[in-house]
Amino acid sequence: MRLSNFFLALIITVLLFYLLIVGKDLLIPLVLAVIFWYLINVLAKAFQKIGLFKLHLPIAVCYLLSIITISGLLVILVDLISSNIADVIVVAPAYQKKFTALIAGGYELLGIEEPPTIKQIFKNIDIGSMLSQFAVTITGFVSRAGIILIYLIFIFLEQKSFKIKLTALIKNPGKREDIFKMIEKIDRDIRIYIGIKTFDSALTGILAYFIMASQKLDFAEFWAILIFTLNFIPTIGSIVATVFPFLFALIQFDNFYPIAVIAVGLTLLQFLIGNILEPRLMGSNLNLSPLVILLSLALWGALWGIPGMILCVPITVILLIIFSHFPQTRSIAIFLSKDGRISIT
């Protein structure tokens, strides 16, 4: 019996991964729509808490303000990325020459005389091509805006009737209460994660912009937006977000001082927000093992690329909460957790 259950679970897992790969063009916009739905709800609740003389805005007005705010910010972000990346691609050949000269200087400094394999690797690094690829990725997100909007509308239409449908479907009061608790915990944890992660990423991007602009780094707005975006990718994102502006500072400046300010400033900023502020704000809400986060990052990155890397933590949190509610899968939840302690409340 156990062997048949194992093979059944294996078949279901293989089919699930197959569907995730084949249906990614439909599933990624759906997951992004859910993320935007959470963001709108989080911001609407924040607007509702703002009161003047004990008067609060009606919930409908709060939702309208939330949608207008998020839509406006997205339009500004896309416009800034589009305009900046076009300018960067134009000057990319000049940066490419400086980059090649910098590598040659590094070889000279280390006393290495043109090692063919390494030099070939560096020659194949085309800055313009890399930035063009990034532009294609952003365009891909924008082209999915229509389907994301459709999903978002239907999610909001289902929002009020979801609990009523579940109540009608699950007749057993005990099971129904357990399911509602699980959904509430998923909802609470994902809201906290998305809200705090968005705040932390925005704060990092804004402060990084002031650090880079103070040293007159070219395209500081673009690098700040890149930092904001990459900070949604756990661990690796913050490293890459620091490395890119540092490398361009190396190419742009001949003086060591601005390079040092940018490198130290961005590294310190990422450390303070990522290792001190964010854990304090998150508390123990996301009890995920760092190793599991890295494995999840690799897995979802392989399945869905950059969107998968951004979405890996919310997906893993949902899996942890679901697994913790069933005795058969509780051992998996313990493995996914940071300290082995899981909560089903």
**Burial environment of residue 197 by CB neighbours within 10 A (0 to 12, 13 to 18, 19 or more):** buried
pLDDT tens, 2-29? 666 667 777 877 888 888 888 888 888 8
Classify 285 as helix, strand or coil.
Answer: coil
pLDDT tens, 307-332? 788 788 878 877 887 787 777 777 88
Tell me the pLDDT band of 343, cut-offs 50, 70 and 90. Answer: low
Distance CA 225, CA 101 (A): 28
The answer to whether residue 302 is domain-embedded is: no
Sign of CA dihedral 283, 286, 291, 295: negative
CB-side exposure of 307: number of CA atoms within 13 Å?
21
Q: What would the mean pLDDT of 283-290 be, rounded to a whole number?
A: 68
Q: Which residues pair with 337 in a beta bridge?
A: 288
Helices (H), 215-255: 220-230, 236-252
* Cα separation values, 311 from 231, 291, 328, Å: 12, 16, 26
The answer to whether residue 138 is domain-embedded is: yes
Domain count, the chain: 1
The answer to whether residue 136 is domain-embedded is: yes
Q: Where are the beta strands (DSSP E) in the chain?
A: 51-52, 55-56
Backbone angles phi, psi at 288, to 5 degrees: -105, 140
Domain that holds residue 114: 26-160
Q: Could you tell me if 211 and 262 are in contact, meaning their C-beta atoms sit under 8 angstroms apart?
A: yes
Q: Tell me the one-letter amino acid at 111.
A: G
Distance CA 188, CA 145 (A): 26
Distance CA 291, CA 297 (A): 10
The answer to whether residue 264 is domain-embedded is: no
Tell me the pLDDT band of 1, cut-offs 50, 70 and 90. Answer: very low
| The two structure tokens encoding residue 118 | 């390494």
Q: What would the mean pLDDT of 239-260 be, rounded to a whole number?
A: 82
Q: Could you tell me if 192 and 204 are in contact, meaning their C-beta atoms sit under 8 angstroms apart?
A: no
The answer to whether residue 72 is domain-embedded is: yes
Classify 52 as helix, strand or coil.
Answer: strand
The answer to whether residue 47 is domain-embedded is: yes
Q: Could you tell me if 322 and 335 are in contact, meaning their C-beta atoms sit under 8 angstroms apart?
A: no
pLDDT tops 60 at residue 125: no
Q: Tell me the one-letter amino acid at 166.
A: L
Which residues, in sequence order, are CB contacts of 147 under 8 Å at separation 6+? 26, 29
| The two structure tokens encoding residue 126 | 């085309």
- Residue 212's pLDDT is 92
Q: Could you tell me if 81 and 138 are in contact, meaning their C-beta atoms sit under 8 angstroms apart?
A: yes
Distance CA 345, CA 329 (A): 16
The answer to whether residue 89 is domain-embedded is: yes
The answer to whether residue 220 is domain-embedded is: no
Mean pLDDT of the chain: 76
Distance CA 39, CA 16 (A): 27
